[in-house]
Structure 1
Amino acid sequence: MKRAIYFFILLFCYIPQYASATTIQSTVQQPQKNTDLVAKYVYEKAGLKGKLDFDVFKNGYHAYYNAQGRKKQLLTIIDYSKPSTEKRFFVVDLKTNRLLFHTYVTHGVNSGGVTAKHFSNIVNSRQTSLGTFLTDTTYYGGNGYSLRLDGLTKGMNDNARRRYIVVHGAPYATEDFIRRHGYLGRSWGCPALPKHLSKKIIDTIKGGSVIYARA
């Protein structure tokens, strides 16, 4: 009986040592795999194929998943690899798997012409910042109804507050402006939206949703 108990103790103590590598690998890899599967499901349900590259959405979903302080099941993606003449601003409801908004958005005047090529986190650079943002509160300022943003990506957008990078509406963020000038108007670094949609979008995403901006 004693020998059986001793053997059981040895078995219990040593098996985890042999299994530990597999267990650790599974623990690390499984969340990544599961998140990718969920991202694929949401991407398809939201009808994003042909509008937004899946890898861009997947990276945005990972940014959302890892964002500290998020309070809403909403993900906004800004794909600055697209020219300003294309709709590159996407708001996806991750609870209902629906694309809520798909519209134009500006980049900074010093980031480029039709396409944004230069990005910065420096105050007064008048360039667009990339990375993950968390939406905060609204206010009325020089650009009307605006939404404060906090940059979560260190070194890339964590000066958003000091740079007054906010979401707001602008008369130069419209199809009419594109028709007249051949490109969308440019901001001082803010993601400015068409005036007729800006308030509705801001009220939807304010208060702790995630914005992922990439190029």
Structure 2
Amino acid sequence: MNELLTGTASRRGMLRAGGIAAAALIVPGCMRQPLQSVGSQPAPKPASKPTAVAATPAPPPTIAGVATSLVERARAARDTHAGQLRQRDRVAIIDFTPASYRSRLALVDLANGRVDKLLVAHGIGSDPGHTAFLQRFSNDDGSEATCEGAFVADNYYVGQHGRSQRLVGLDPTNSNALSRAIVIHAAWYANKDMLISHGKLGRSQGCFAVGENELQRVFDHLGEGALVYAAKG
């Protein structure tokens, strides 16, 4: 009987020991599982960085009182002949579409859109009947006509018409400007009082003649190396 009790107790001890060992084997495996509370949400994804948007360049300023087509052509000429220009923002644009009693010479600051407009005469050969309207352009020697296109305002000198500024033609339509002495100068026949007495300006020999009191304004605006663009709008 004692042996039976002893054997039973021994078996119970073995079963108890086996249960403890089994628990020891099971618990570590459970502890390796991540603990989550009921109803927990997954961690939010980090917010993506905003995509950089390239800045849109500001449009060029509007040039009031000057034909848009001429402004665009002057800008294009400035870019085309950039290597020959020392001053790129200040230009002179001459629109020979209106009559000579209109202010056809525009001193333009392309950077900020400022405009100063003056009277300017055209050549005898461009208006033989003295109608006040330019009829034709010419690049020919001896034509006494005004030529069109892009020019660079060159150096100053004192000549037949006093203080003057040479012009170098940059296009096939005005390539003879320097040899023909097509320049900017002042003349009595380009003064404002000509409009009172004659209703129009007199004519040059192809030069861009301005009023005697206006010449310095032109020189101050252009300096040496700026663009002069003359055409019809």
Q: TM class, shorter-chain normalised?
A: 0.7 to 0.9
Provide the C-alpha distance between the structure 2 equivalents of 1:200 and 1:83, rounded to a whole number of angstroms. 22
RMSD of aligned residue pairs (Cα, Å) = 1.6
Partner of 1:107: 122
Equivalent pairs, count: 171
Partner of 2:152: 134
Structure 1 spans left out of the alignment, 5+ residues: 1-33
Equivalent of 1:184, from 191, 201, 206? Answer: 201
Equivalent of 1:143, from 138, 141, 161? Answer: 161
| Code of the aligned partner of 1:202 | F
Distance apart, 1:206 and its partner CA? 2.7
Partner of 2:78: 64
Partner of 1:20: none
The 8 Å contact of residues 122 and 204 in structure 2, kept in 1 or not, is answered as yes
DSSP 3-state at the match of 1:63: helix
The 8 Å contact of residues 106 and 185 in structure 1, kept in 2 or not, is answered as yes
Q: Which has the larger radius of gyration?
A: 2
Distance apart, 1:197 and its partner CA? 1.1
Structure 2 spans left out of the alignment, 5+ residues: 1-56
Distance apart, 1:94 and its partner CA? 2.5
Are positions 1:54 and 2:68 aligned together? yes
- Deviating above 6 A after TM superposition, structure 1's stretches of 4 or more consecutive aligned residues are none
String of CA shifts for 1:64-108, please: whole Å, max 9, x gaps.
221241111211100001111100101112234322x21000100
String of CA shifts for 1:129-153, please: whole Å, max 9, x gaps.
0000001100111101100110000
Provide the C-alpha distance between the structure 1 equivalents of 2:144 and 2:209, rounded to a whole number of angstroms. 13
Distance apart, 1:57 and its partner CA? 1.4
Partner of 2:224: 207
Name the structure where helix makes up a greater proportion of residues.
1
Partner of 2:212: 195
Percent identical pairs in the alignment equals 32
String of CA shifts for 1:149-181, please: whole Å, max 9, x gaps.
100002x10101110000011111122112211
